Structure 1
Amino acid sequence: MKNFIQIILLGVITIHAAHSQNTIKGVVTDAKTTNGIPFASVYFPQLEKGTETDSNGSFTIENLPDGTYKLVVSSVGFTTFTSNVKTGLTNQLSISLNPSAIEMEEVIVSTPFHKLQSDNVMKVERASISKLKAEGALTLAEGLNNISGVESVSTGVGIGKPVIRGLSGNRVLVYTQGIRLENQQFGDEHGLGINDAGIESVEVIKGPASLLYGSDALGGVLYLNPERFANSNSSEGDINLNYYTNTLGYSTNGGFKTSGDKFKFLIRGTYSSHADYKTGASERVTNTRFNEVDLKSGIGYQSGNFISEIRYNLNKSKLGIPEEVGLQSKDRTPLEPYQEITSHIFSSKSSLFFDNSSLDVILGYTYNDRQEFEEHHHHEEEEVPGEEEHLEEEHGEEAALNMDLNTFNYNIRYNLPKLGNFETIIGVQGMYQTNKNFGEEILIPDATTSDFGLLATSHYHLEKFDFQFGIRYDIRSIDTDAHGEITDEHYIAAIDKNFNSFNASFGTKINFSDHIDLRLNIASGFRAPNLAELTSNGVHHGTNRYEIGNSNLNNERNLQTDFTLEYKNQHFEAFFDGFYNKINDYIFLEPNGETLDDNPVFNYVQEDAKLFGGETGFHLHPHPIDWLHFESSFEIVFGEQNTGEYLPLIPASSLTNTFRVEFDQDKKVVKNSYGFITLKNVFDQNNASQFETPTNSYVLLNLGLGGKISLGRQELNLNLSVNNLLDESYYSHLSRLKRDGIYNIGRNINFGINMPF
């Protein structure tokens, strides 16, 4: 397999075939008035190349390879246009956009055929990061809570991990820069570990995506799209500042990008700092403070039929692990216990285009260093006063837990030539990962994990029907070292295990009329047990449990059916999304009634389970007052074992109503202004698992406003948002601090400013 990959890479690097340099010109107009539309986006997603129209609606794109590629044209206030364009035959385009109050669509990248959401067989939620930030989210994990069907298991405000329809941890796969993000996500208190700066949007696949991504995508995928490079022969930059009153926190980032005919470059740096957050009861939660440094950069190259880009992300964070409401402080330096996490993410994406097909090669390497510092323990029988402080000053305190995770992954896909209405992709995908321990405590042993998968998927298009289907085979091997002496009660035996699985999916999209669409998807998924589930034998201090793994665990396997019905016209949208998810051999922790090392003992066990529920809602923007929007959505999830016991970490049902006004007027001083008010009702969660407690209902009121202000030649984008306006004291069912009687965050006011240059 290694030799095969080397041959593929060598071919991508060395191929230098003759090719033409094509230019496409055109004009984008309003279908009603025939006037040119200025500043419309004209973009080839496959080529990652595009431009904006000028003040007359005209555009020119040069240096295009031979072939047929999808062109996407979009502008605020108009329906998104998409069409396949053959570059060798087309030199002049005339494109008309129909006015619409519906938000413009974007191409979905997380699914294989890169279609608009309205053309996708699988429904995928998409949200821009700028919109989530404008709603006042402190972190990316918190912002994801505003996406229907997505919640977050939180430890304060600095640590959060995504939950998709009741599934979390290693059941939800996160992709960034086109590669899987690996950061020891098995732990409840191990957060997302990535900053929102330099990320353009997030896509959410709510259901098994093992066909596309292999193990760990049993519950769904969060796909983070990185910031685009600048359009050809242009440069741009910006500075962003945000202040949060509740945590006295601030986040600042600045970026610059430039592109020529062939080379592209971008860079963005970020620094964030927050003190302890304050609850609705006006108490600061001790040690919820955190600091973060983030750097993202990229370089791209395009010449003829070959494009390539390399991206790098450095993220360093220091996060307090809260345990109580104690000393009231506005300090920003975390106390013990705390985490220090450093991640390096390298990715390379190259594409080679032929006349009717293409080859994509994505390579990734991530290095994650996780250190956890606990209250200092003295090991010497006699201590000299001041000696401890002197040693720590000279050598620094050693981490109690220190794990290094190195991951190399690859994804090679060949887009076959079209056969009539058939589009087909075949590919290989895999991962090689090592985990090493350097601290005095061991949560999981030193281990090597390798994945290899083969996939094939096809899309068939008819005028009123679309079908998508595929099959995949995966194998995962896990080889661990023994830890400790065999007579030690904390001994961890070595294991050498292989897990394999076949998975398939089938989906259809039916256009009953110009306004009604139906989607039906049936997909299987799997997840191999992780190292913690297989090998744990000790106290997990982050959860205050003594956890015992089981080396005989089987794959988790699921079969999920998704049903979506949508109605849409120019001024009204409504949807209903329902799902039923049957999981065989669901892995979970169960208390056995014993205690070890003064902690309750929990065993990893398996039982068949099921989850079902969905989301429904509507969006009204009445004519002729298109600037007024009313959105409402309701989401509900049930999760239970076959024994009748409830599953843990199932989010409470909620109803969210939002009034929003948007004005796209082109005034001299204020442009593109908006305002919103949101009322979120979260209902009682009485279906708690055996080591959870029920959670009472609560209501959160949020509001915000913003717009673009012109000061001479300088434009500023300003936003103001207030979350939990009424300073409600409440517990989220997914808060890990709930068991300690610690409320979630109280009122928080966010001031944001963006200054482009």
Structure 2
Amino acid sequence: MRCLITCLLIFTSSTLYAQQGVLAGKVISGGSSLAYASVSLQGTTYGTTTDGNGAYKLARIKPGDYVAVFSSIGYFSQHIKVHITADTLVQNAELKEGSSKLNEVVITGVSRATELRSNPVPIAVLTKKDIEQNVNSNIIEAITKGVPGVTAVTTGPNISKPFIRGLGYNRVLTLYDGIRQEGQQWGDEHGIEVDQYGMARAEVIKGPASLTYGSDALAGVINLIPYIPAGENGRLNGDVTTEYHTNNGLIASSLGLAYKQNDWKYAFRATGKTAHNYHNQVDGYVYNTAYQEYIFSGMARVDKQWGYSQFSAAAYNNKQEIPDGSRDSLSRRFTVQVAEGDRDDIKNRPFVPNEWLTSYGMTPLHQHIQHYRIYNKTEVKVGGGIFDAALGWQQSIRREYNHPTQPQQAGLYVTLNTINYDFRFSPQIWHGWETSFGVNGIYQNNTSKNATDFPIPDYNLFDIGGFAFAKKKFGKVDVSGGIRYDTRHINWNDFYVGPNPANGFEQKVGADDPAGNLQFPSFSHNYYGISGSLGLTYNVSERVLLKANIARGYRAPNITEIGSNGLDPGAHIVYLGNRNFNPEFSLQEDVGFIAYLKDADLALEVFNNNIDNYIYQSRLDDENGNPVIIVPGNTTYQYQQSKARLYGAEFTFNVHPQATNWFELSNSLAYVIGLNKNEKLIEQSNGAAKYLPFIPPFHWQSDVKFKLNGSYGLFSKLWLRTGIDLFAAQNRYYALNDTETPTPGYTLVHAGVGASIKRKSGKPICDLFIQGDNLFDVAYQSNLNRLKYFEYYNASPNGRSGIYNMGRNVSFKVVFTL
């Protein structure tokens, strides 16, 4: 491995200083050593972390005056001016515990790692601690609970698609360790293929981030940063997490191991999850919502004075059952599909046996998602600048089994291969100007295999974009901005479908097959766009900021929007695309006020977003107002395009009195309105098309937390938390052709308790968490729950339609430290 990395590094260090200095010391908090704190020289490439004893050392520093920044999650950062000579300078630092994140360093949104306070773009940070202190079925659910303005479209408890301020699907770019995650994002019915237990933190950009990342970042970016257990040199260490959920019987275990030997670090993680059908008081157990998930990942990294190089790989395997909502009209018991075509009477299927509802086995009707990832990230210090390179390969295999008479025959079977590339150079800071230049993009190839349904064609995609970024501080004002140009080429050949005598369904055939039908005529098109941003941060004081940013975003249409023409079995939807669609362009203005005070902090973020060529789904009706049925038992949706506007705000107010540091009160509000600006369609529909689909309602979240300081025998860091989630009724919805329906409001109550267990020596053993969601077992439907529309009858005896969200769920979780 070392030889391989050495061969890949095309770099020879030729810049040597005649005199080099050393900065060393120790970081403490409350008289104790602070391990794994960050130490860096502001505006330079010099940086490190403290060891297990809180000690650090920065060597080979060019003599001069610098500002040393000491920071750690959950502590106030400290800035100390230092004068480096050819000798060793000892500089210690003491950090005070606190909740401020203003000085926290983030890596998402700009080319250099930067402090959150100086970035005018709205960015939220969710730490591993934040993630652990919630009941989560997946990492996206954890983010929706911790970041105001982020929601998710769901199809069951393990399938969540992130939305930021009312925009989702390919408008939200998901990154894994800075590498864009590429699966079949065009569908509703599978989630993000990452390990929720392997995350160190999540960084969320709210708003267009096309400047740095290109197409598909119109709504924002979610960067999931893997967790690497830290430890002493030459000693194997890690963690073990085990978890159980009462509602769907979720059983999960995750093992993370790490080893450090001088400049080398190695990490490995294995995670397994299995769950049966979830339960609520209206539907009982919701048939076909069980799942199984297994993930393996590994990393090898070398850190040198010239920089670092890291190789990582991951394998994701998920089997997820596919609900269809079929049930008996009177008893409302779920039924099982056992026949197909004309022999299948949807309203007269047999009942689901009771023993199936709590079984951990997979039913014949399920989807199978496999995702493989290999990538390298290398950073090289070039003089006073930094060169970053990232290369990756991903393969996403998606199979959906929807034939009960032939359970081994996949209805949908597609394989997507993606090559990621990203090259960036940040020159030495010149007269206070920080600049960065880069080029990045992807190459993709998607192929249908042995399937019977073909909602999208086989296609090739090449995407490339270049950008320039600059930032400078003028007294109390930080100014940053940049510009980018993108181009994307997508093409496919004629795609023919014909009968398959072997199974009685359809198959992909050649153009010379006499029985073949042309389902996807050939297509070739170039999309291009210019994006950019300009923003400033005014530092009223060390803890009070004003921010403003304006950004132009760009997104090329995705494959279903321009090319779909067929059934997606897992969504139970026939999609019809439009190859004449134009790219989306947005212009968003953000204004923010942030104050981290002694006993409280508050933040207000207001945004306005105007989008040209906005693409959305609309249910298709015929001229008589009846739903168009192309495939029996499945709805037909056609993509539309128009102008749109979204505007709203997020507000957080947290109280953490220093005099009573055992008490914390957290509150957040999020509100967004999405308007369809197609005036002609609004008039024709008598206002039914006034609003955009998939817009979340007003959401208020409030939590109170009590912390018991000190130790109680083996227990320490005891805490108790309780709170509410209030979702208002959503009466602003896309009502044309009953694409959406109104959603009543609801309030959910949650609570949790946790503690750490340590040995007498003070060494940690484990962390314990007992947490509950929806404690009063409220029957509710989220307006972003796709299962809400899985209904075969116009009326039901109990007045309830569709499938409801999960009922009461209590989680028991233990995290052992190895």
Shared fold (TM-score, shorter chain, > 0.5) = yes
CA contact (8 A) 2:391 2:419 kept: yes
Q: Do the aligned partners of residues 293 and 87 (structure 1) sit closer, same or farther apart at CA in structure 2, a change above 3 Å counting?
A: farther
Q: Is 1:744 the counterpart of 2:805 in the alignment?
A: yes
2-side partners of 1:60 and 1:585: how far apart?
A: 53
SS in 2 for 1:484: strand
Does 83-92 or 514-523 show the bigger shift?
A: 83-92
Equivalent residue, structure 2, for 1:720 = 770
Please give the residue correspondences for 1:458-537 in structure 2 after superposition, counting only pairs within 5 Å.
Answer: 458-484=470-496, 491-537=519-565
What do residues 272-307 of structure 1 show as CA deviations (whole Å, max 9, x unaligned)? 111101113471111110000011110001232131
Equivalent residue, structure 2, for 1:604 = 639
CA positional deviation for 1:316: 0.4
Q: Do the aligned partners of residues 178 and 447 (structure 1) sit closer, same or farther apart at CA in structure 2, a change above 3 Å counting?
A: same
CA positional deviation for 1:334: 2.4
Does 411-420 or 118-127 show the bigger shift?
A: 118-127
The one of 77, 80, 92 aligned to 1:80: 77
CA contact (8 A) 1:67 1:354 kept: no
The one of 359, 363, 368 aligned to 2:391: 363
Q: Do the aligned partners of residues 504 and 86 (structure 1) sit closer, same or farther apart at CA in structure 2, a change above 3 Å counting?
A: farther
**Letter of the structure 2 residue corresponding to residue 608 of structure 1:** K
Q: Is 1:172 the counterpart of 2:184 in the alignment?
A: no
The one of 36, 41, 50 aligned to 2:37: 41
**Letter of the structure 2 residue corresponding to residue 106 of structure 1:** E
CA positional deviation for 1:570: 1.4
What do residues 510-530 of structure 1 show as CA deviations (whole Å, max 9, x unaligned)? 012334211101001111111
**Letter of the structure 2 residue corresponding to residue 597 of structure 1:** V
SS in 1 for 2:413: strand
CA contact (8 A) 2:464 2:488 kept: yes
Equivalent residue, structure 1, for 2:320 = 319
Q: Is 1:735 the counterpart of 2:785 in the alignment?
A: yes
What do residues 70-125 of structure 1 show as CA deviations (whole Å, max 9, x unaligned)? 86523576412256879875733434446353256531111223122223222211
1-side partners of 2:271 and 2:528: how far apart?
A: 41
2-side partners of 1:363 and 1:564: how far apart?
A: 35
CA contact (8 A) 2:324 2:572 kept: no
CA contact (8 A) 2:283 2:803 kept: no
**Letter of the structure 1 residue corresponding to residue 71 of structure 2:** S
Q: Do the aligned partners of residues 727 and 257 (structure 1) sit closer, same or farther apart at CA in structure 2, a change above 3 Å counting?
A: same
Q: Is 1:641 the counterpart of 2:676 in the alignment?
A: yes
Unaligned segments of structure 1, at least 5 residues: 1-8, 379-391
1-side partners of 2:703 and 2:154: how far apart?
A: 24
2-side partners of 1:64 and 1:239: how far apart?
A: 38
Equivalent residue, structure 1, for 2:416 = 405
2-side partners of 1:271 and 1:193: how far apart?
A: 13
CA contact (8 A) 2:229 2:238 kept: no
Q: Is 1:111 the counterpart of 2:109 in the alignment?
A: yes
CA contact (8 A) 2:365 2:404 kept: no
Q: Do the aligned partners of residues 293 and 53 (structure 1) sit closer, same or farther apart at CA in structure 2, a change above 3 Å counting?
A: closer
Equivalent residue, structure 2, for 1:446 = 458
2-side partners of 1:490 and 1:84: how far apart?
A: 70
Does 697-706 or 507-516 show the bigger shift?
A: 507-516
What do residues 18-43 of structure 1 show as CA deviations (whole Å, max 9, x unaligned)? 7589753213356xx8x565447244
Equivalent residue, structure 1, for 2:262 = 261
**Letter of the structure 2 residue corresponding to residue 288 of structure 1:** T
Give the number of equivalent residue pairs.
726
SS in 1 for 2:132: helix
Q: Do the aligned partners of residues 183 and 506 (structure 1) sit closer, same or farther apart at CA in structure 2, a change above 3 Å counting?
A: same
RMSD: 2.6
Please give the residue correspondences for 1:672-691 in structure 2 after superposition, counting only pairs within 5 Å.
Answer: 672-690=717-735, 691=739
**Letter of the structure 1 residue corresponding to residue 666 of structure 2:** E
Does 240-249 or 509-518 show the bigger shift?
A: 509-518
What do residues 417-449 of structure 1 show as CA deviations (whole Å, max 9, x unaligned)? 111111000011121111011023212111110
1-side partners of 2:225 and 2:477: how far apart?
A: 29
2-side partners of 1:407 and 1:264: how far apart?
A: 27
What do residues 154-182 of structure 1 show as CA deviations (whole Å, max 9, x unaligned)? 11101111111101111110000221000
Q: Do the aligned partners of residues 608 and 260 (structure 1) sit closer, same or farther apart at CA in structure 2, a change above 3 Å counting?
A: same
Identity of aligned residues (%): 28
Q: Is 1:630 the counterpart of 2:660 in the alignment?
A: no
1-side partners of 2:244 and 2:817: how far apart?
A: 18
CA contact (8 A) 1:453 1:472 kept: yes
The one of 101, 107, 113 aligned to 2:98: 101
Equivalent residue, structure 2, for 1:708 = 756
CA positional deviation for 1:242: 0.6
Q: Do the aligned partners of residues 400 and 47 (structure 1) sit closer, same or farther apart at CA in structure 2, a change above 3 Å counting?
A: farther
Q: Do the aligned partners of residues 308 and 19 (structure 1) sit closer, same or farther apart at CA in structure 2, a change above 3 Å counting?
A: farther
Please give the residue correspondences for 1:220-231 in structure 2 after superposition, counting only pairs within 5 Å.
Answer: 220-228=220-228, 230=230
**Letter of the structure 1 residue corresponding to residue 740 of structure 2:** E
1-side partners of 2:234 and 2:107: how far apart?
A: 24
2-side partners of 1:490 and 1:687: how far apart?
A: 40
SS in 1 for 2:10: helix
1-side partners of 2:84 and 2:253: how far apart?
A: 42
CA contact (8 A) 2:265 2:301 kept: yes
The one of 1, 10, 15 aligned to 2:12: 15
CA contact (8 A) 1:275 1:288 kept: yes
The one of 89, 93, 99 aligned to 1:92: 89
CA contact (8 A) 1:229 1:259 kept: no
2-side partners of 1:44 and 1:249: how far apart?
A: 42
**Letter of the structure 2 residue corresponding to residue 253 of structure 1:** S
Equivalent residue, structure 1, for 2:573 = 545
**Letter of the structure 2 residue corresponding to residue 698 of structure 1:** Y
2-side partners of 1:630 and 1:135: how far apart?
A: 16
What do residues 588-628 of structure 1 show as CA deviations (whole Å, max 9, x unaligned)? 12334232233554322210001110101201112410221
2-side partners of 1:110 and 1:85: how far apart?
A: 28
What do residues 245-264 of structure 1 show as CA deviations (whole Å, max 9, x unaligned)? 11111110111111122211
CA contact (8 A) 1:155 1:321 kept: no
1-side partners of 2:81 and 2:223: how far apart?
A: 25
2-side partners of 1:302 and 1:19: how far apart?
A: 18
Q: Do the aligned partners of residues 580 and 308 (structure 1) sit closer, same or farther apart at CA in structure 2, a change above 3 Å counting?
A: same
What do residues 110-163 of structure 1 show as CA deviations (whole Å, max 9, x unaligned)? 122312222322221110234223211122122122121111111110111111
Equivalent residue, structure 1, for 2:338 = none
2-side partners of 1:478 and 1:371: how far apart?
A: 23
Equivalent residue, structure 2, for 1:423 = 434
CA contact (8 A) 2:229 2:256 kept: no
2-side partners of 1:737 and 1:469: how far apart?
A: 42
CA positional deviation for 1:689: 0.8
CA positional deviation for 1:63: 6.3
Q: Do the aligned partners of residues 459 and 720 (structure 1) sit closer, same or farther apart at CA in structure 2, a change above 3 Å counting?
A: same
Q: Do the aligned partners of residues 231 and 103 (structure 1) sit closer, same or farther apart at CA in structure 2, a change above 3 Å counting?
A: farther
The one of 564, 567, 573 aligned to 2:595: 567
Equivalent residue, structure 2, for 1:388 = none
2-side partners of 1:590 and 1:490: how far apart?
A: 25
**Letter of the structure 1 residue corresponding to residue 121 of structure 2:** M
What do residues 685-733 of structure 1 show as CA deviations (whole Å, max 9, x unaligned)? 0011121000001110000011111245562211110111111110011
CA positional deviation for 1:483: 1.0
SS in 1 for 2:363: coil
What do residues 359-379 of structure 1 show as CA deviations (whole Å, max 9, x unaligned)? 11111111111111112346x
1-side partners of 2:314 and 2:701: how far apart?
A: 35
TM-score, normalised on structure 2?
0.84
CA contact (8 A) 2:703 2:722 kept: yes
Q: Do the aligned partners of residues 514 and 19 (structure 1) sit closer, same or farther apart at CA in structure 2, a change above 3 Å counting?
A: closer
Equivalent residue, structure 2, for 1:192 = 192
What do residues 322-376 of structure 1 show as CA deviations (whole Å, max 9, x unaligned)? 1236234211122242110111111111111133111111111111111111123
